[in-house]
Structures are given as C-alpha cells and as structure tokens.
Chain A
C-alpha cells in the first residue's frame, strides 16, 4: 500500500495540467467520488494491517492534500491566463452617479469677489433691499431734485413727496455704507454685497435688478493712490496680471474725486480688436457723506468703490445676455 502511495505521489507531482478540462480530469482521476484512485485507496484502508493504518491514513491524507492544492493552483494559473476573455464583472458599465447640484454662477462670482477683498482685510456687511430716502440718496449726497438722481432709475415704494421723502428699492448697496458708519466709528473697512434694483427697460444688457459689491474704507490718511492700488490689485487678481486697466475721472454724488475703471477686453469681432469695458465706479468718499454720519471729514478720508456682479460674471464666463442668469435653465446652471 505504501509503495502504491509513493508511486502515485511521483505520478501526481509530475502531472502536467494545461487546460481547465485537464484540471477537472486530474481531480476526477484521483479524487472522483466513484473511481478516484485516492478515493478508492481510502475505501481499502480496512484491508491494511491495523498497526499500519495510522501511517497509511496520514500518507493518504497528505496525498489528497497535494492533489487538492495542485488542482487549485492549476485553476488559479489557468484562470489568470484566460482573464480578459470572460471577466467576472463588466467594469465598463457606467457607475451609479449621485445627482449633482450646483451653486449659481452669480453666487460663485460674488463669493470670489468678497473672498478676495476679505484677504485685504475687508469685512462683509449687509442691509435691506427696501430703503428709505436718507440711506439710499440724501446721506449719500444726492440732493433732492438733483440731476444725479436721474443716474439711477428708481423704483419707488412710497412717493418722494410722502412723509419719509420716499421709500425705494435700493438702487445700489451704498446705503449699507451709511448704515455701517452710523453705527461704527472709523476705521471702517467693509464690503457690502447684495441685490439692487433699477427701473430700466429689460434687454440683453440690463435687467430690472442686479447684484453689486460695494467697498468702503475710512481711516486717517487714505488717498486716491490707495484707491488705485486696491483696484489694480483687484483687477489683476480677477482678470490676470496682464490686464490693461484704465482709471479715469467720473462723477458720483457720494465720491469726490470720482473714478471709473475700465478694462481692455479682447474682442476679435470689434474693429479695434477689443474695447474698454467699464467694470466699476469708485472715488474718495465725499466729505458731505462723512459729515452726514457724524464722521470728521477733516481728520478722516476714505475711498469707496462699487461693481456689478453680473457684469463681471458675464466677462469672466463669456455670457452675452444678462437675462440668462435669471432664466435658471438647468443646461446653463450645470456648467458652473
């Protein structure tokens, strides 16, 4: 019996298995339930002398183990060889995607603008959209009946002839300046983002409302040079360091001197290869504004600037119709 086992061991160790069929034949030859050679030897163990039985049993078990491990190894080897022909899973099936959402491009642009100014030490301040005449106009040095009031077509909620001289939908976020300065002594360094309203015909370039970020810095010794510096830094950070910028005199009732900032925008369709695009208005805070909130305009100077978020978002994303922002087409929103 032990001789037979030795013989089988050498046969088994020398067996070559080259296909899944041969592997199955190999397993059946030795371990098949009915006629497996080793299976049969186990059945004949009763014929062995009692004292040899433990040894034979142990040897047979070892032999069975050898067959099993050779068979497994062969299977593993053969399956690896045939991999690619018939994989277990089709990994090319599409993944199960969770639904994706998005933050509106105006929020993204507004956040980028505020984040940038926050890095320069500005804090965010907010205010109401329904405003009184004092905060929206008078305290900002828009005298009653001044043509400057025509610069901002105003929605009235209460008539200017009423007891409060008018309640309006704010035409800019500048009233937040006044609200902050009424409650905070200088230095003041804030930005005021928010929604503003203009009673203008709706077209591709103007909507009845838009969003503004207004900046204000009041301190001792603030100059027009400082204003130029912060605005240039902003333009470079937002539109790239190669941006061409124009800082030119303008007029706003609440600043003096006033300035507008244009950037050069490449446009192949334009005969001059581009055009100047106005991106913001700014200036040194008018002494009347400071005095209206009880700030000593001799001791303190300051600058203010304001920009339209839509205008900047349109430039950076190449959007040519402002109404697109308010249509909320998923095919538009999902691009941001």
Chain B
C-alpha cells in the first residue's frame, strides 16, 4: 500500500528523510519495497503570465507564447496545449528544471533545455497537471487563479493552497498480521513509536448517536455475527463537484483516481484511518431504511462498476426497505451510488466480520480497497470516529450539514478489548536479551496498549481494538522485539546443540551414490516440471512405465492452465521434452537422468496421504552418440545394452540383491521391447528398461533408438538400505585360472539363461563368467549361433588343472543337456 510522506506528516513530526523513514519502517516490520518520488526532480517552476499567444509559423498544432516570468523580459515558449490563452497565469518549468514526465506507467526524468522547436526558440515549458503530478489532466496546461503571483515559485503558491510540489510515496508490503497499518494514521503510530515523536489525531467532534426511533432513518441488523456494528450519518444539502486540488493530489499520490468530492472524501478517510466508508444517495434508499442481512441462494446484484453478479449464499447484503443496495464491505450498488445530482448522503461506517467478507470476495474474485481492509480486520472501535470525520470533511468541502439526530450507531455486539498477561521474563527467554520492564511498558504504550503492572514480573496489557492480530503473549513479544529493533538483539558467540548421533537418511546417501555414478559415466541430471497436460499424462499412465501399480491420474482442481492440469505418473514425458529440446538445439549425445516424485491415485491404504500413491522415481534415458567420432575412433550410438549396462552397474553399486531382468519382446504403446526388473524372483518390482517405440521416438524428433529406464527409487532404497554398511571379505591370495568355452546352440537360445546355468553349475569355484563373443557367420550352420564364454576359477588354495578341467567338463555337459549346446571345434 502507498503511503504519502507529506500526508503522513499530518499525524507525526519526525526528522527522517524518506529513505531513512523507509529503512526505519522496514526494520520494524513494515517493509518498504520502493520509495517513489512524486513531482519535479528539481526546483525551477515559476508562475508565469501568458502575455501573448501567436501562431507557430511551421506547425499548425503549436503556438508561440510570450511568457512573463517576473522581472526579466518575457520569454518565448512553444506550447502545444489547446487551452493556452493570453492573460492566463500558468506554471512554467524554466530552463534547467528536471521534471518527471509520464512514460506509460512510469515516470522518467526530463530536463528542460533551451531549444528550437520547428525552427522557433523555446525557453521553458508550460506544464499540465499531469506533468506536475497534481492531477490526471494532460489535455491542457494547468491554469492558475488570476491572482497567482507572477514570477514567484510555484511551490509557494501550492503551499498556500494546502498542497506541495513534491512528495515521496512509500510502497509498503503489508503483512496479513498488520491490519492496523493499512492507513496513514496506522503507519504514523509506528513512526511515533520508533522516533519518540507524538502522534497527532485530527480533532473531530463526535456527535451523539440518536435513539433509533427519532432518527430520520432506521438501521436493523439481522446478522449481528457478520455485522456487529453499523454507524450511519446523514448529511444533507451537499453539492457534488470536483474535489479541491489538495485532495486530488493526495489521492493521486496513493494511487487512487479522484471522482467527486464526496466519494473522494470517503476514500480519503479510509486511507487516513483505515476504516472503509460508503456513501449512499439517501433518496435512493427506499423507506429510509438500512437492513443488514445475509444473502440467500440465487440472488443477483449489480455493483457500482456496472457488473451484475451472482451473489454466493451467506454473503452480507446492505439493503434498504426493499432491495440490496450494497454488497457489504466489498462494493456499493449501482442503484444507490452518489451521482452529480445527489444532495443528501448517508455515510456508512461499519464493522464487518473478516471471514464473511473474505469468503464473498474470494467467491466473486473481487478484491477492493474495502474488502482488503475488512478481511484483515478493521478497528472495531473506530466506526463512529471515521463516520464523523468523513461527515465533517464533507460538510466542510461539499457543503451541507450533518442532520440533527441523523447519527445512528447500531451496535448489537460490542467488542471488548483483550487483556493479555505478559511475563517480562518470557520476553528475555524468547528474545535472548533482557529488554527491561520499563522499556517494555514504554514500547507497548506508544503502540496504544494500556499497561498495568500486576506484580511478580507480570504486565497486564489491554490490546487496542485496532490490533485484532495480537491475542497471545508471544504476539506482544513480537511487538516489543520489532520496536526494540532486531538489530539490537545480540547474537550469541557460543551456542549449544543437542547431543545426537548424526545419521544420514538411506535415501540421501543412496541418491548421492547414484548421482555420482551416473554423472561419472556421462549422464546429466535434469529437473522437469511435475505438471503436464492431462492427455499427455494419460498417454504415459500405462505400463511398463510409472511404477509398480496402475491407477488413475492425479489432477489439480485449479491448474494454472490446461498445460499443467495433471501430475506426472512417470518421469518419462518430462524427459522426452528434454531430449526433444536438446536435439532441436543441435545436441546428438543425449544421456540424462532425473530423480522426482510421480503420482497416481490409489484405492488401497498404505500411502502417506490415503488415496494417493506418491513414489520417488529415477529415470535414466539415453539416445544418440555414446562415443564421439575421433581421429582413430568411429562414432557409436546408444542401444538398449548401453542402458542395460548402466542399470546393471547402478544396481551393483547400490548392492541390490537378487535382481532379475525378464525380457518382454511384445511391443506396448510406448515400447518396442523391454526388460522388467524385479528382485527376489519377481516378488519385488524395481523397474523397467525399454527401447521406446519408433513412433514415440519420432514424435519427439529423435532419429536414433531412444532407450529409457525408470526405476522405483523408493523400492531401491528399501532394498539397498540394509547393505549400506559394508563388511570386508578377505581377498584371495591364490592365483585364478581363466578358461574359455565356445559352444554352438540354436539361434533362439537365450544367452542370459546359459550364463545363469554356467554360474549355477560352476559354484563355488567359478568366480566370474562372461560372454566375449557372439558369432553366426561363416562356419556356423544356419539357424545356429556360436557363443564364447570366459570363466574365472579360484579358491582359497591353488587349483589344479585337473580340478578346473573337471569343472569345465561339467559345465559343458550341463550346457549340452539344458540347451543342446555343441562344443565349437
């Protein structure tokens, strides 16, 4: 919210510059986000008299003005304003003056120089109200009164009219706990507490409220919970017209657009004390009645912005004798607004329940200056003062008189101030510094709390009604701390921490291992969006990707856009975007991994939030070049065995026990073929390694095979956690024996099964078995292939050739039996 420094000075005297004031407020809880200068950046604006106006020889829309600036000879100024005329007194920015000229929503410095405009000399500029930030008028120059003293500084002239040429506006970010600070008087209260200056409240005669039966209008409240207080004051005989300059200037400074004197004054008082007001045209109020009630179902209402709205049930209406005339606390009605012809006005100053206003404002998506204040909680004791202040200003400025007996204060539920006991020792305990009872008392009193020493270190604090946020002892401690100054709270040089055994979560430790491994072998970590369009999410919500269990997508009720309506059921779609983006930016070696949560709805229990299955997933993807072409190497491209090897290394690195990979040769919507990875013989799902279908790869612009593995990281962590602690196995001191064996088998015989068979047969002497050649060319019969195995034997003793020969014979025999293998000669 905007606070004008000039306006603020009405309520408190202080010696701070705008920047120092901004700093002081920021450091006490009212964060000033910007200090915005208003008005010219330098002096030099004088009152000029336009002596003569002559046509510009070279431009139709410009004229030459001879302007008298006092003692010197008249100067020639080129002017483009349609309203300039001889005899006018006008503000003139003389040569050297720096103005802040409007440029879109901003203002930029502009220095007035002696110059030629279309061939004619011009020494200065005659200014419009907008150029000087005095009004919004930029159609023509500002014309001053006929007695404005020629040659005198314009600033002096303004001062005699209660205005100022320059100002500074503080843009304060008000936190939700500070409803008291949403006004100039509220900010002034903090300034007074910070500087020790006295707070000045405008003097207002508070009229006596009239007994209801004698009043010229009646107020009935059907919903005292939602409207515990309603003050109305009737002012008759006003003249609706443009506001005086000072009022317009102040409203403009805080970002309000001036409308007419009555509306402007209600806004003025709201920005002065924080109480939103509304002015009705009294003659529009049927039966001279105000009736406050809750909206029923299916009611509509046209607010004064001309919009017909469907009003949610339970919203609060201000009605007259027949119909709603205002949407309480949010906006008045078109049917009763003040117009140019209004003569009698009813000023409304009420307290509305914050929750009621907030619900309605949210439901309608309509936030106004008024709703903003009510939903935070206005001063429950300030209604009569604000109404009287507005009424007296209106009577003064718009004419008219406050109607005798025209003041009604309907107050069905008076609010009692809270009393909180504050232990001064608790202040010390929480802040770590002894502020002292005297200082505490002083701080709280300057903020408007009434303090009574209850003995035993306890202060009894009466909370002013404008501080609805202060309800606990700790709230008082915050008030003390922010005025005492956070900077004055000492930082301890020593600190204790509780004794504990440092333990790392297995998930953290294992993630680090996995990242290290993957980054070390050429994979780059990615971070992608968790939200995606529903149709894309649905496309990937299908096996084999996305985890062990199927389930419906999780969607958000209020997505930013349809592009982000669903939560990812798999990390694959995000990764495909990464592949596509990088391919289209010229990258041909695409190897990535990502850790992230994936989401599905789940009907069974066992999840953290019932109904939602959320898993951490690890996706690894690879396509394109694995080995770059070099001076003696040819480029190699990724296939599924590259990725399978990566996953095998990873599972080994994480010590995942008893893993099996079951090939699935059938294609799916997403894959050409894949491997299903499980532990304990299928009992525990781990993940999938797949070569994606050509259609999918092409849809993401990929020209070579795209392989992706998605692993259920939560499952891996569970499986790996018991193996995080390692124990050493002594390394054998005896030599190993290496043997090779080549056999010919049917083409369809799975190599993996043969390896398993070899390992089982060779135990315990066989320490390692691998495949070093696969061949089906010349010399091998059609329909057959040759597989060459390499084996390593060892034991805690030196093996004899005979022992190894015997193993080799057993292995060969087993291969013959199980697979019809024939020893390759």
List the interface of chain A (C-beta within 8 A of B).
93-94, 96-104, 106-107, 111, 118, 120-121, 123-132, 145-148, 150-151, 155-159, 167, 169, 187, 189, 195, 197, 199-202, 208-209, 219, 221, 223-226, 228-230, 232, 246-251, 256-260, 284, 286-288, 301, 325-331, 333-334
- 8 Å CB contact of A301 from B430, B433, B518, B585: B430
Residues of B within 8 A of A286 (CB): 474
Q: Is B589 part of the contact surface with A, judged by Cβ < 8 Å?
A: yes
Task: Knowing A187-B498, A329-B582 are in contact, say whether A104-B626 is a contact too (CB < 8 A).
Answer: no
Within the complex, the shortest CB–CB distance from B274 to chain A, in Å, comes to 15
List the interface of chain B (C-beta within 8 A of A).
26-29, 31, 175-178, 354-355, 358-359, 375-376, 429-433, 472, 474-475, 477-478, 481-482, 486-487, 489-492, 495, 497-498, 500, 502-505, 507-508, 512, 515, 518-531, 554-560, 564, 567, 578, 581-582, 585, 587, 589-592, 596-597, 599, 608-609, 611-612, 614, 626-628, 630-631, 633
Is A229 touching B525 in the complex (CB atoms < 8 A)?
Answer: no
How far apart sit A146 and B359, CA to CA, in the bound complex (Å)? 10
A–B complex contacts, Cβ < 8 Å, 11 sampled: A100-B522, A102-B519, A103-B519, A151-B176, A197-B530, A219-B498, A223-B431, A225-B492, A226-B495, A257-B430, A333-B525
Is B529 touching A330 in the complex (CB atoms < 8 A)?
Answer: no
**A-B pairs with beta carbons under 8 A, tally:** 234
Within the complex, the shortest CB–CB distance from A11 to chain B, in Å, comes to 48
- 8 Å CB contact of B503 from A123, A127, A219: A123
Residue of B nearest to A119 (CB): B502
Is A126 touching B432 in the complex (CB atoms < 8 A)?
Answer: no
Within the complex, the shortest CB–CB distance from A292 to chain B, in Å, comes to 14
Is B608 touching A248 in the complex (CB atoms < 8 A)?
Answer: no
Is A158 touching B486 in the complex (CB atoms < 8 A)?
Answer: no
Residues of A within 8 A of B590 (CB): 330
Task: Knowing A130-B614, A287-B474 are in contact, say whether A156-B28 is a contact too (CB < 8 A).
Answer: no
Is B522 touching A104 in the complex (CB atoms < 8 A)?
Answer: no
Is B527 touching A326 in the complex (CB atoms < 8 A)?
Answer: yes
Is B497 touching A189 in the complex (CB atoms < 8 A)?
Answer: yes
Within the complex, the shortest CB–CB distance from B713 to chain A, in Å, comes to 12
Task: Knowing A223-B432, A333-B525 are in contact, say whether A99-B591 is a contact too (CB < 8 A).
Answer: yes
Residue of B nearest to A106 (CB): B527
How far apart sit A250 and B564, CA to CA, in the bound complex (Å)? 32
Is B556 touching A223 in the complex (CB atoms < 8 A)?
Answer: no
Task: Knowing A96-B633, A208-B564, A331-B585 are in contact, say whether A250-B175 is a contact too (CB < 8 A).
Answer: yes
Is B505 touching A325 in the complex (CB atoms < 8 A)?
Answer: no
Residue of A nearest to B486 (CB): A247
Is B429 touching A249 in the complex (CB atoms < 8 A)?
Answer: no
Residue of A nearest to B526 (CB): A328
How far apart sit A70 and B329, CA to CA, in the bound complex (Å)? 112
Residues of A within 8 A of B478 (CB): 249, 256-258
Task: Knowing A118-B502, A131-B609, A287-B474 are in contact, say whether A226-B560 is a contact too (CB < 8 A).
Answer: no
Is A330 touching B582 in the complex (CB atoms < 8 A)?
Answer: yes
Residue of B nearest to A201 (CB): B560
Within the complex, the shortest CB–CB distance from B242 to chain A, in Å, comes to 35
Task: Knowing A104-B525, A151-B176, A225-B490 are in contact, say whether A330-B587 is a contact too (CB < 8 A).
Answer: yes
How far apart sit A159 and B555, CA to CA, in the bound complex (Å)? 12
Residues of A within 8 A of B591 (CB): 99, 101
Is B609 touching A256 in the complex (CB atoms < 8 A)?
Answer: no
Is A101 touching B524 in the complex (CB atoms < 8 A)?
Answer: yes
Per CB-CB distance, the 6 closest pairs between chain A and chain B, nearest first, are A225-B432, A223-B432, A99-B522, A251-B175, A249-B29, A257-B478
Is A248 touching B497 in the complex (CB atoms < 8 A)?
Answer: no
Is A250 touching B505 in the complex (CB atoms < 8 A)?
Answer: no
Residues of A within 8 A of B512 (CB): 111
How far apart sit A147 and B374, CA to CA, in the bound complex (Å)? 11
Is A101 touching B522 in the complex (CB atoms < 8 A)?
Answer: yes
Is B491 touching A129 in the complex (CB atoms < 8 A)?
Answer: no
Residues of B within 8 A of A99 (CB): 521-522, 589, 591, 626-628
How far apart sit A224 and B587, CA to CA, in the bound complex (Å)? 51
How far apart sit A249 and B490, CA to CA, in the bound complex (Å)? 15
Residues of A within 8 A of B554 (CB): 130, 157
Residue of B nearest to A187 (CB): B498
Is B531 touching A208 in the complex (CB atoms < 8 A)?
Answer: yes
Within the complex, the shortest CB–CB distance from B174 to chain A, in Å, comes to 9
Q: In the complex, given contacts A209-B530, A225-B432, A284-B474, what are 6 additional A-B residue pairs having Cβ atoms less than 8 angstroms apart?
A: A129-B530, A130-B554, A130-B614, A249-B482, A256-B477, A301-B429
Task: Knowing A145-B359, A146-B176 are in contact, say whether A155-B27 is a contact too (CB < 8 A).
Answer: no
- 8 Å CB contact of B486 from A123, A202, A228, A229: A228
Residue of A nearest to B597 (CB): A129
Is A226 touching B609 in the complex (CB atoms < 8 A)?
Answer: no
How far apart sit A199 and B585, CA to CA, in the bound complex (Å)? 30
How far apart sit A286 and B26, CA to CA, in the bound complex (Å)? 22
Is B581 touching A329 in the complex (CB atoms < 8 A)?
Answer: yes
Is A148 touching B29 in the complex (CB atoms < 8 A)?
Answer: no
Task: Knowing A107-B515, A257-B481 are in contact, say whether A325-B527 is a contact too (CB < 8 A).
Answer: yes
Residue of A nearest to B503 (CB): A123
Residues of B within 8 A of A120 (CB): 497
How far apart sit A94 and B27, CA to CA, in the bound complex (Å)? 59
Within the complex, the shortest CB–CB distance from A72 to chain B, in Å, comes to 32
How far apart sit A187 and B500, CA to CA, in the bound complex (Å)? 9
Task: Knowing A155-B558, A250-B29 are in contact, say whether A328-B581 is a contact too (CB < 8 A).
Answer: yes
Find the residue from B175, B500, B611 having the highest chain A CB count within 10 A.
B175
Within the complex, the shortest CB–CB distance from B604 to chain A, in Å, comes to 16
Is A333 touching B524 in the complex (CB atoms < 8 A)?
Answer: yes
Residues of B within 8 A of A208 (CB): 529, 531, 560, 564
Is A228 touching B489 in the complex (CB atoms < 8 A)?
Answer: yes
Within the complex, the shortest CB–CB distance from A259 to chain B, in Å, comes to 6
Within the complex, the shortest CB–CB distance from B501 to chain A, in Å, comes to 9
Is A250 touching B432 in the complex (CB atoms < 8 A)?
Answer: no
How far apart sit A221 and B486, CA to CA, in the bound complex (Å)? 18
Task: Knowing A219-B498, A248-B486, A328-B582 are in contact, say whether A284-B175 is a contact too (CB < 8 A).
Answer: no
How far apart sit A249 and B505, CA to CA, in the bound complex (Å)? 34
Residues of B within 8 A of A94 (CB): 630-631
Is A248 touching B29 in the complex (CB atoms < 8 A)?
Answer: yes
How far apart sit A131 and B432, CA to CA, in the bound complex (Å)? 35
Task: Knowing A104-B526, A199-B560, A224-B489 are in contact, say whether A248-B27 is a contact too (CB < 8 A).
Answer: yes
Is A147 touching B474 in the complex (CB atoms < 8 A)?
Answer: no
How far apart sit A334 and B430, CA to CA, in the bound complex (Å)? 47
Is A326 touching B529 in the complex (CB atoms < 8 A)?
Answer: yes
Residues of A within 8 A of B626 (CB): 99
Task: Knowing A229-B492, A248-B26 are in contact, say whether A224-B527 is a contact too (CB < 8 A).
Answer: no
Residue of B nearest to A120 (CB): B497
Residue of A nearest to B564 (CB): A208
Residue of B nearest to A198 (CB): B560
Within the complex, the shortest CB–CB distance from B748 to chain A, in Å, comes to 34
Is A157 touching B612 in the complex (CB atoms < 8 A)?
Answer: yes
Residues of A within 8 A of B28 (CB): 248-249
Is B585 touching A225 in the complex (CB atoms < 8 A)?
Answer: no
Is A121 touching B497 in the complex (CB atoms < 8 A)?
Answer: yes
Find the residue from B178, B527, B626 having the highest chain A CB count within 10 A.
B527
How far apart sit A195 and B522, CA to CA, in the bound complex (Å)? 26
Within the complex, the shortest CB–CB distance from A115 to chain B, in Å, comes to 10
How far apart sit A133 and B597, CA to CA, in the bound complex (Å)? 20
Is B486 touching A249 in the complex (CB atoms < 8 A)?
Answer: yes
Within the complex, the shortest CB–CB distance from B645 to chain A, in Å, comes to 14
Residues of B within 8 A of A223 (CB): 429-432, 492
How far apart sit A145 and B529, CA to CA, in the bound complex (Å)? 30
Residues of A within 8 A of B630 (CB): 94, 96
Within the complex, the shortest CB–CB distance from A118 to chain B, in Å, comes to 7
- 8 Å CB contact of B560 from A130, A202, A224: A202
How far apart sit A94 and B556, CA to CA, in the bound complex (Å)? 53
Is A121 touching B502 in the complex (CB atoms < 8 A)?
Answer: yes
Is B558 touching A156 in the complex (CB atoms < 8 A)?
Answer: yes
How far apart sit A192 and B27, CA to CA, in the bound complex (Å)? 28
Find the residue from A104, A132, A219 having the highest chain B CB count within 10 A.
A104
Residue of A nearest to B518 (CB): A101
